[in-house]
Structure 1
Amino acid sequence: MRQAETFDDILEFSNTHDSQGTMYLSQKETSPGGILFSDEDSGKQPLELEIKLLLKTNDDSICFSKRYMEDEEEEFEKTMDQLEHMKKQFSIKTVNSSEFDALLSNK
């Protein structure tokens, strides 16, 4: 299994593998300080968006993981749009973080 340094590595992988495969996707939204209970007048807590992705074909696989901070929301949205196009080639399975980690340990 290869580790993708950037999402462009994922796109390159999907473009060079004609065979069908499976995309395992784990997403999580968190606040760095934990969950907050506050009223409307309080300051907004920054948001972190995390994506973990594993693409598996019959003969190869690649993994990508990135945590996007709130100021990187545009990059996150672009990544999600690109994933939409990849769904034509890969069947998608949404998994939670622990299921994703189990997939990686099974390789």
Structure 2
Amino acid sequence: MTGPRAKTCATCGRGLSPREVYYRFSLVLQGEQDAIDTPGGGTGSEEELALLLKQLEESPESPQEMEEQVHWERSGVVCGACRSLVVRTLTPKPEAAGPH
């Protein structure tokens, strides 16, 4: 009978013992933009959209790179130390309370 498969921390790469506590994560970053700058002043005409599409097609970035700029998704496990780092990084700093 074999035990659970060994896991590896997605952040630091350290092997995790089956008896060690680990943390599952799923992260999705989705790009959003409220307004697009178009060459013709933003009227959204067919000519402007065709020009914008042409600029995208002539871009030096691959379609995969462009896609990852608007949708990036990862999941895995992290060790306790890396969990602390991620939580610290993604937790907003408290606003200054000001003088009391």
TM-score above 0.5, yes or no: no
Larger Rg: 2
TM-score, structure 2 as length reference:
0.30
Higher fraction of strand = 1
TM-score, structure 1 as length reference:
0.29
